[in-house]
């Protein structure tokens, strides 16, 4: 199985694309997630839509808006509210995890491997077989 993050932006206007991906693919929806972090003293959140793997192909996309939304637990905001409303309408709870910021990694791919490891460890996505 191939599991890969597909970054669609930082969550400004692209949050609407992430929400549309969730709605259009609700039959493949596995999880909706919020990754909370702190970057230089600023609390930020990444939002993600995790779909079931394709069949055939065993490709599991994890769509992400990276670290561009204020952490809603610190600063309530409309963008997170829209994401939460979408989760509710799709009968999904948002998986919320506190993670290291992407700035601690020399490459974005290493950051994404770190997130995939956390998701596997917590059984939100399947381990490699």
Each residue's pLDDT tens digit, 12-34: 889 999 999 999 999 999 999 99
Share of the chain above pLDDT 90, in %: 91
Mean pLDDT of 65-78: 97
Q: How many CB atoms lie within 10 A of CB 2?
A: 11
Where does the pLDDT of residue 128 fall: very low under 50, low under 70, confident under 90, or very high at 90 and above? Answer: confident
Q: How many CB atoms lie within 10 A of CB 120?
A: 14
In the chain, what are the domain boundaries? 2-122
**CA pair distance 91, 57, nearest whole angstrom:** 27
Handedness of CA 33, 49, 59, 28 (dihedral sign): positive
DSSP string, 30-85: EEEEEEEEEETTEEEEEEEEEEPPPTTT-EEEEEEEEEEEE-TTTS--HHHHHHHH
Instruction: Please state, in angstroms and rounded to a whole number, the distance separating the CA atoms of residues 128 and 38.
Output: 30
Banded pLDDT at 60 (limits 50, 70, 90): very high
Q: What is the CATH number of domain 2-122?
A: 3.40.1530
């Amino acid at each position: 199985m191939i599991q890969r993050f597909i970054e669609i932006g930082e969550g400004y206007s692209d949050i609407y694309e992430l929400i549309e991906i969730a709605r259009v693919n609700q039959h493949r929806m596995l999880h909706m997630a919020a990754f909370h972090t702190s970057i230089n003293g600023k609390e930020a959140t990444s939002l993600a839509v995790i779909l079931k793997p394709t069949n055939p192909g065993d490709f599991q996309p994890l769509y992400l808006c990276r670290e561009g939304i204020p952490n809603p637990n610190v600063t309530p905001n409309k963008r997170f509210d829209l994401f939460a409303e979408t989760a509710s309408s799709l009968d999904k709870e948002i998986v919320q995890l506190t993670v290291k910021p992407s700035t601690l990694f020399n490459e974005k791919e290493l950051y994404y491997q770190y997130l995939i490891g956390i998701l596997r460890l917590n059984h939100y996505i399947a381990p490699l077989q």
